[in-house]
Amino acid sequence: MGNRPSNSVDDESGATHQRNCIRFLPSTQPTRSDTKYRIFGKSLNGNLKYPLPSNIEEEKHWLQDPHYLIRHMWQSNYSAPIEDKLREGNAKILNICCDYGTWTLEMASDYPNSHFTGVDVAPIFPSGVTRPNVRFLQSNVLDGLPFESNSFDFVLVRLFGNNFTEKDWEDKIIHEIVRLTKPGGWVELTQPDSKYYNCGPNGERWNDALLNHLRLKNINGSICEDFGILLTSTGQISRIQHEVVIGPVGSWGNRVGELGASYARQLSGKFKPWIISYLDITEEEYNEIMIKAEQEFNIHRTYMSTHRFVGQKINSFQ
């Protein structure tokens, strides 16, 4: 999606990689948004705002909640230009599909003068939250959320692309996001692509089966590539920016890559029964495929991409 940079891509340290270092970046489709690629690699220094886990307990949290790895790779909880608004206070923020509520609680702590709402269809977010600027609500975005139109300064959805069909995104979710955002407010969507790149033969077999399984359910595992088109199609979102962070999968990418491999392992476990059925293989054969796939991650330097779209609701629509 978007136009590729002509000859370079920034990494997380601000260094520049020449074009031949990104020759295997995922193909994208043109949209009205500009795309910036950033390689999350081995040039990290010790002064990160969001460092890697420092002990086993922290690492457990990372593996349970993908929020932490995404935050680390982006070195931010958001990219929309709303810092001043958040610090001024009285900003209203909505996190749709808030999951465990980790992002919502972190942001509420960082910006105590603004107000944060997290909604999810499943009540796995914390109960009995004591922060005065946080509330959680059980509600299904597909049914429409119980808020007035133009209510929020910032509406964010992240890490839930594979929970919805393409039609859900096109007909309901994007329109609900836009409806709830104030004119002049910002929307942001962050989602990893379910397509893995530079896999070996076993990794490709597993990943292709996963993507095909999702397609049978009318789920586009790469819906994140289409967010720019969907936002533009509403006629109400402008200044769309698209950024992609490229992250390693496997120990070739040091601890970040090991965590990426752990998430791939969890994904393989989650979809194991369906992929076994789809491939018509035994559980033992499936386990062998995954063992070999993980070995191939390091041989072929497998990587994944995470997309983030930011846009502003134009003022002419009331």
| Averaged pLDDT, 209-227 | 95
pLDDT of residue 318 exceeding 60: no
**124 confidence band (pLDDT: 50, 70, 90):** confident
Q: pLDDT-derived band of residue 156, with 50, 70 and 90 as boundaries?
A: very high
Over residues 238-251, the pLDDT tens digits come to 999 999 999 999 99
Residue 197 scores a pLDDT above 70: yes
Q: Where are the domains of the chain?
A: 27-313
Mean pLDDT computed over every residue of the chain? 85
pTM: predicted TM-score of the whole model, two decimal places: 0.84
CATH fold of the domain at 27-313 = Rossmann fold (3.40.50)
Least confident of 11-25, 84-98, 113-127, 226-240: 11-25
3-state SS string over the chain?
Answer: CCECCCCEEEECCCCEEEHHHHCCCCCCCCCCCEEEEEECCCCCCCCCCCCCCCCHHHHHHHHHCCHHHHHHHHCCCCCCCCHHHHHHCCCEEEEECCCCCHHHHHHHHHCCCCEEEEEECCCCCCCCCCCCCEEEEECCHHHCCCCCCCCEEEEEEECCHHHCCHHHHHHHHHHHHHHHEEEEEEEEEEEECCCCECCCHHHHHHHHHHHHHHHHCCCCCCHHHHHHHHHHHCCCEEEEEEEEEEEECCHHHHHHHHHHHHHHHHHHHHCHHHHHHHHCCCHHHHHHHHHHHHHHHHHHCCEEEEEEEEEEECCCCC
pLDDT in tens, 26-65: 443 334 447 888 776 544 445 666 666 667 776 666 566 7
